[in-house]
Amino acid sequence: MRGFRGLVLGVLMSVGAIAGARAQAVEIEYWQYVFDARIKAMNELIKRFEAANPGIKVKHTTFPYADYQTKIAAAVPAGQGPDVVQLYYGWLDNFVGAKFIQPLPRDAFPHDVIEKEFYPIVQTMKRDGEYYGLPTAVRTLALFYNKKLFQEAGLDPNKPPQTLDEYLEAAKKTVKRDAAGNMLSAGAVIDMPGQDLHWWREVLLRQMGGKPYSDDNKTVVYDSEAGAKALNWYADLQRVHKVGQAGFMDEGQAAFRAGRAAMTVDGSFRLGAFGGIKNFEWGVAELPASADGKRSNFASYWVNAITAKPTGAKLEATKKFMAFTTSPEAMQVWLDMVGELPARKAAAETEKNLSHPIYGPFLKALNYSQATVFVDELAQRQVGLDMANRVFIQNQDAKASLAEAAKAEQAILDRFYKK
């Protein structure tokens, strides 16, 4: 709504200024990392934005993912670089702490509108009462399943498992082993370096009655009964039921793509890659609920934020551009071109989207999703991988492994919040 009004305002203003204003067009710079579909979608958005705002030019610059943060950190303090920047929601604290980005101006982005129209996960963008960024699109997890393998195992390919128990049963029926016990096709993918760590931390753990962090995110609390229960349930898929195997086919998504895994938990960002599968039909379902019907999900997103650089006319232009990239129109473009889900409820939960066989399950999850607050995403990820590896490779007891992980992760959090 707001975005549309901003757009109309922008059009009116630029129509008013159009005589001779061409020469003094404001140029703003937008940065994101290299990801083909995102670049194409952003080019489309810029084309539409510039058509509606003839006085503003947007320069679109991209960098390989590996260099992206370093480039920003080098450019912004030098007064160079972007006016609007895309960043992972988990990086926000570092960017705010370094004063790289400014709070979203309240006149263009009123808080009550954000809170009413966006999904609650954007709350993680709030620091000291100010919003620092807004997403165009969000991603959630879902259960991908191979309909062909389901059918071969005598399961109904149109009835994916709804609960964790059904998930385990389906995995047992679909797993294939040779005479020597070597896995030929997995029933359920075990892939911590993939999305399983998120599945464990924000979904399984909560379904078993626990939670990963304290409410202020400063304390690790997964070292609990629920934590052990969740970790054991997950590890038993390999240890006891032997329906999956860490490292099978190198990566979970590779196993699924090759038709050698019946089920995998993965994100909406994988839709593009799985779209190329020709050998079998696959389906998407909501992540399985616990026995008492509890559901949870992990959402993550990239936001656009205004850097500390623009002021005056440039700031006005960036406000308009930001408003446009977070408008329902932009979100539909993003869904169609990138496959990522709209961050506004109204844009996401249209009749058409909700009943969509693939987008539907991802969208439903947005209402019960959690966005983990990271202070050092890769270091925290490493703690989780090590926790699982101690259980899988060294046969360590789940409780002991959890305690070790909690201690290591707490040290990372302490080092960050102490500053």
Partner 1 sequence: MTANTQVARSGGRLWQGLSLQQKQVVWAWAFLAVPILFYGLIRFYPTVEAFVISTTNWNLMSSPSFVGLANFKRLMADPVFWQVFRNTFLYLLIGTPVSLVLAFTIAYHLDRVRFMHGFIRALYFLPFLTTATAMAWVWRWFYQPVPIGLINDVISSLGFSQQPFLRSTTQALPAVLAPAIWAGLGFQVVIFLAGLRAIPTTYYEAARIDGVSDFAILRKITLPLLKPTIIFLVVFSSIGFLRIFDQVYNMTSGDPGGPLNATKPLVLMIYQTAFSSFDMGYAAAQTVVLFLVLLCVSLLQLRLLRDR
Tell me which of 247, 313, 336, 354 binds partner 1, using CB under 8 A.
247
Binding mask 258-297 for partner 1 (x = CB under 8 A): --x-------------------------------------
Q: Is 248 in the site for partner 1 (CB under 8 A)?
A: yes
Query: Are the C-beta atoms of 94 and 87 separated by less than 8 Å?
Result: no
Q: Is 360 in the site for partner 1 (CB under 8 A)?
A: no
Q: Is 249 in the site for partner 1 (CB under 8 A)?
A: yes
- Min dist CB 249 to partner 1, Å, is 6
Kindly state the number of chain residues that form the binding site for partner 1, as judged by CB under 8 A: 38
Complex with partner 1: residue 331 or 398, whichever CB lies closer: 398
What is the helix (H) or strand (E) element at residue 282, kind and residue range?
Answer: strand 282-285
Q: Is 192 in the site for partner 1 (CB under 8 A)?
A: yes
- Distance from C-alpha of 88 to C-alpha of 305, rounded to nearest angstrom: 10
- Min dist CB 35 to partner 1, Å, is 18
- Min dist CB 399 to partner 1, Å, is 18
Of 36-44, 96-104, 292-300, 317-325, which segment contacts partner 1 by CB under 8 A? 96-104
Tell me which of 128, 156, 178, 216 binds partner 1, using CB under 8 A.
178
- Distance from C-alpha of 149 to C-alpha of 262, rounded to nearest angstrom: 6
Q: Is 390 in the site for partner 1 (CB under 8 A)?
A: yes
- Min dist CB 123 to partner 1, Å, is 23
Q: Which residues of 300-322 are buried (b: 16+ CB within 10 A; e: fewer)?
A: bbbbbbbbebbeeebbbbbbbbb
Tell me which of 14, 69, 219, 410 binds partner 1, using CB under 8 A.
69
Complex with partner 1: residue 74 or 346, whichever CB lies closer: 74
Written as one letter, the residue type at 108 is A
Dihedral sign (CA 108, 112, 117, 120): positive
Tell me which of 172, 385, 399, 414 binds partner 1, using CB under 8 A.
385
Q: Is 182 in the site for partner 1 (CB under 8 A)?
A: yes
Q: Is 109 in the site for partner 1 (CB under 8 A)?
A: no
Q: Is 354 in the site for partner 1 (CB under 8 A)?
A: no
Complex with partner 1: residue 364 or 390, whichever CB lies closer: 390
- Distance from C-alpha of 380 to C-alpha of 223, rounded to nearest angstrom: 15
Dihedral sign (CA 95, 96, 102, 106): positive
Tell me which of 112, 215, 250, 292 binds partner 1, using CB under 8 A.
250
- Distance from C-alpha of 41 to C-alpha of 25, rounded to nearest angstrom: 23
Give CA separation, 12 vs 1, 53, 106, 316, 377, in Å: 17, 9, 21, 14, 43
Which letter does DSSP use for residue 78 in this model? Answer: T
The strand order across the sheet containing 300-306 reads: 56-63, 26-33, 84-88, 300-306, 134-139, 341-342
Dihedral sign (CA 390, 395, 397, 400): negative
Q: Is 24 in the site for partner 1 (CB under 8 A)?
A: no
Q: Is 376 in the site for partner 1 (CB under 8 A)?
A: yes
Give the SS3 label for residue 277.
coil
What is the helix (H) or strand (E) element at residue 57, kind and residue range?
Answer: strand 56-63
Q: Is 151 in the site for partner 1 (CB under 8 A)?
A: no
Query: Are the C-beta atoms of 199 and 266 separated by less than 8 Å?
Result: no
Dihedral sign (CA 272, 329, 101, 381): negative
Tell me which of 26, 246, 305, 341 binds partner 1, using CB under 8 A.
246
- Min dist CB 259 to partner 1, Å, is 12
Residues that bind partner 1 (CB under 8 A): 66, 69-70, 73, 77, 94-95, 97-98, 100, 178, 180, 182-184, 191-194, 245-251, 260, 376-379, 382, 385-386, 389-390, 393-394
